[in-house]
Amino acid sequence: MNHRSNSHLWLLVSIVLSGVCLGNAQVPFPGKCPDVQLLDSFDAEAYMGIWYEYSAYPNTFELGQECVYANYSIVDSSTVSVVNGGISGVTGQATNATAIAKVLGPGQLAVAFYEGQSLTNANYLVLGTDYESYAVVYSCTSITQWANIKFAWILTRERQPSAETIDVAKKILDDNKVSQEYLSKTVQQNCPQL
């Protein structure tokens, strides 16, 4: 387990919990979290395996990381193990962080990055996936009555997905009124083969 990434995660969680906002590394929005369309059904098993991060909202835990991927694997019927990996754009070092997730509902996961973190709040929502090429993941936390912090990710099975695949993913963001303005493309060039 990478301690540096973990301290980033811990920092993020503390910031969210204390209702203070770093400003530069997360995207704060006015108001409470808006409603999004949840999935009716979700095949957790088909969702497992490697996903590459095509683009994402800025977040402290992945700052400056390239070649970012997630590896999900089933632990038991409701538990998923998560490894987030990447390469530091600064040092070129491979880093990773592990987490555990509970499937709370169709496409609704609670991801915990540290021991004892509550697994009752769906902080990872799959807004859409075909399991084979793309997944659109969203997270929103109300930090006060007047502000929320959002994260969004487009994940793809290939490091270099087709334009058609990305169009489908972006349409899902549009359908849910999730802004694409803050999505920044993740470097997936010259990456180590997994």
Q: Which residues of the shown chain bind ligand NAG in the complex (CB under 6 A)?
A: 2, 50, 71, 73, 83, 85, 96, 194
Length of the chain: 194
Cβ 5 to ligand NAG shortest distance, Å: 9
Name beta bridge partners: 97.
84
* Calpha distance 133→129 (Å, rounded): 8
Nearer to ligand NAG, 71 or 88 (CB): 71
Nearer to ligand NAG, 50 or 187 (CB): 50
Nearer to ligand NAG, 73 or 144 (CB): 73
Nearer to ligand NAG, 99 or 178 (CB): 99
Cβ 106 to ligand NAG shortest distance, Å: 23
Nearer to ligand NAG, 2 or 60 (CB): 2
Buried b / exposed e along 146-163 (16+ C-beta atoms within 10 A)? eebbbbbbbbbbebebee
Would strands 49-56 and 27-30 be described as parallel, antiparallel, or unpaired?
unpaired
* Calpha distance 22→95 (Å, rounded): 23
Q: Is 118 helix (H, G, I), strand (E, B) or coil?
A: coil
Cβ 84 to ligand NAG shortest distance, Å: 10
Cβ 166 to ligand NAG shortest distance, Å: 23
Cβ 14 to ligand NAG shortest distance, Å: 23
Buried b / exposed e along 95-108 (16+ C-beta atoms within 10 A)? bebebbbbbbeebb
